A and B are shown apart, each in its own frame.
Chain A
Amino acid sequence: MIADVSDLSDIERDAISEIANMGVSRAAASLRQMVGEQVLLSVPAVRIVDRNEAAALVERGNSSRLVAVQQLFEGPFSGRALLIFPEGQSLELVRSIVGPDHPLEDIIDLEQEALAETGNIILNACLATIANVLRKPMRMSLPSVIRGDGSAMFETDVRDPDANLVLFLYIDFTIKRRDIRGFIALLLDLPSIIALKEIVRDFVDGIEKQQDSAG
């Protein structure tokens, strides 16, 4: 059973990466507007992994102290979207968004709330674009800020085996000229992976039909 879900065919993987890429590109454009600097994106990686692997992936090359803005989404498939930074960079991010006119004390006061709003804008840009491309409306929760290591982000202590495997979609981004790097990660559990695979199959079929009628 696990082999069945953890297998994504090439076309499924390709379609999910492409759709995610549209979402993340819009998110990057939003971030660029907010910080006024170029934002570079990596190629999205789509993998079905267990939560421990996901935790290890976001800690790789970073200190294990992370800060994340989390939003839950719900629709035909449900999950969590995370915007993750090394904790040491979150103040720099907030500073780059509120601009240089504010003293450090103000920025520290604002940090939590500015992170939540920044996450809200970036994650909504990404999720709403995916919802629009797939034509499946989704509801998004309010953003919350969590701090901890990779295990805290991905709740590696979950016992339910169905909840242990996650579709882990991540992109790392760098704000050029500032030393800020982070990840956007989407996590889907098993029933949602199955639902997403079906939606993606319909989406691919739709494109193939259009090609047939155009050709």
Chain B
Amino acid sequence: MQHHVLIVDDSKLARMVMVSAFRRLRPDWNLTEAVNADEALRAISNGSIDIALVDFNMPGTDGLELVARIRSVDAKMPVAVVSANVQDEIISRARELSAAFVAKPLTDEALAAFLSGAVLKLRKAV
């Protein structure tokens, strides 16, 4: 089944890396890119996003704040915080928001594991 994924990262390079990983892992899924929290929330309010991948270190609203705002409108969407900031504190804050944590540099294995979990979660929610 195809899903619609939102990729939120202020870095073009980081988005390119993410998109190319999707081309290998889930080539038929739809991807939407956002460069900050406002764009991300606008995309989500359109209603077609199933899964979100959110960078932590962004100008303005950071990734954890964005996830908290996503949670206030959608408690169940599978979300991952993606960051090289692998501090225990950041990872546990992501967990508190029921979000996964995926470390940068992104590997296909880590992304695939998150996506498999997300697919299961979406299937259960139906």
Interface size class of A (residues with CB under 8 A): 20 to 34
Do residues A121 and B105 form an inter-chain contact, with CB atoms below 8 A? yes
- Residue A114 at the chain B interface, CB threshold 8 Å: yes
Q: How many residues of B contact A (CB 8 A)?
A: 19
A45 to B61, CA, bound (A): 37
Q: Which of B16, B58, B87, B89 has the most CB of A within 10 A?
A: B87
**Chief secondary structure at chain B's binding surface:** loop
Enumerate chain A residues within 8 angstroms of B88, measured Cβ to Cβ.
132, 135
Q: A138-B87, A140-B85 are in contact. Are A124 and B12 (CB under 8 A)?
A: no
Q: A120-B57, A142-B59 are in contact. Are A113 and B12 (CB under 8 A)?
A: yes
Enumerate chain A residues within 8 angstroms of B57, measured Cβ to Cβ.
120, 124, 140, 142
Interface set, chain B 72-126, CB cutoff 8 A to A: 83-90, 104-105, 107
Partner of B14, one of A26, A117, A132: A117
List 6 contacting pairs A-B, 8 Å CB cutoff, sorted by A: A26-B86, A117-B13, A120-B84, A128-B90, A140-B85, A142-B59
B residues lining the A interface (CB < 8 Å): 11-14, 16, 57-59, 83-90, 104-105, 107
